[in-house]
Amino acid sequence: MSVLIFTELDNGSIRKSSLEAVFYGAKVAQMLGTTATALAIGPAEAAELQIAGNYGATKVLHAADERLAQTNNMAYASVLAAAAQQEGAKVVVIAKSALGDAVAARAAGKLKAGLVSNVVDLPEGDAATLHVKRSIYTGKAFAVTEMTSDVKIITVKKNAVSPETTDATATVEAFTPALNDGDFVAKVTGVEKADGEVPLTEADIIVSGGRGMKGPENWGILEDLAHALHAATGCSKPVSDLDWRPHHEHIGQTGIKVSPNLYVACGISGAIQHLAGVNGSKVIVVINKDPEAPFFKAADYGIVGDVFDVLPRLTKAVQAAG
The mark string for 65-94 relative to other proteins (x by CB under 8 A, - otherwise) is: ------x-xx--x-----------------
Question: Which is nearer to other proteins, 167 or 195 (by Cβ)?
Answer: 195
Per-residue b or e along 157-170, where b marks 16 or more CB atoms closer than 10 Å to that residue's CB: bbbbbebeeeeebb
* DSSP summary character for residue 265: E
Neighbours of 297 (CB within 10 A): 10
* Strand pairing class (130-136; 124-125): antiparallel
Does 117 contact other proteins by CB under 8 A?
yes
Q: Which is nearer to other proteins, 53 or 100 (CB)?
A: 100
8 Å CB contact between 49 and 80: no
Q: Which of 104, 170, 235, 258 binds other proteins (CB under 8 A)?
A: 104
Per-position b or e across 90-103, b if 16+ CB within 10 A of its CB: bbbbbbbbebbbbb
User: Strands 205-209, 130-136: parallel, antiparallel or unpaired by DSSP?
Assistant: unpaired
Number of chain positions touching other proteins (CB under 8 A): 91
Q: Which of residues 183-212 bind other proteins (CB under 8 A)?
A: 185-194, 197, 199-202, 205
Using the minimum distance from each CB to other proteins, give the nearer residue, 3 or 103: 103
> Of 168 and 304, which has the nearer Cβ to other proteins?
304
Measuring CA to CA, which residue among 267, 138, 274 is closest to residue 212? Answer: 267
Residue 202 to residue 96: CA distance in whole angstroms: 10
- Measured CA to CA, the distance from residue 260 to residue 278 in angstroms comes to 8
- Is residue 301 at the binding interface for other proteins, with CB under 8 A as the rule? yes
Which residue lies nearer to other proteins by CB, 168 or 228? 228
Q: Which helix (H) or strand (E) holds 241?
A: helix 237-241
- Closest CB to other proteins among 64 and 99? 99
Distance in Å, CB of 168 to other proteins, minimum: 27
Binding mask 280-299 for other proteins (x = CB under 8 A): --xx-xx---------xxxx
226-265 residues in contact with other proteins (CB under 8 A) are 229, 247-248, 253-254, 257, 261-262
x/- string (CB under 8 A) for other proteins, residues 126-165?
Answer: -----x-x-xxxxxxxxxxxxxxx----------------
User: Phi and psi of 295, rounded to 5°?
Assistant: -60, -30
Instruction: Name which position in 31, 46, 64, 318 contacts other proteins (CB under 8 A).
Output: 318
CA distance 89 to 154: 13
Q: Any contact of residue 105 with other proteins (CB under 8 A)? A: yes
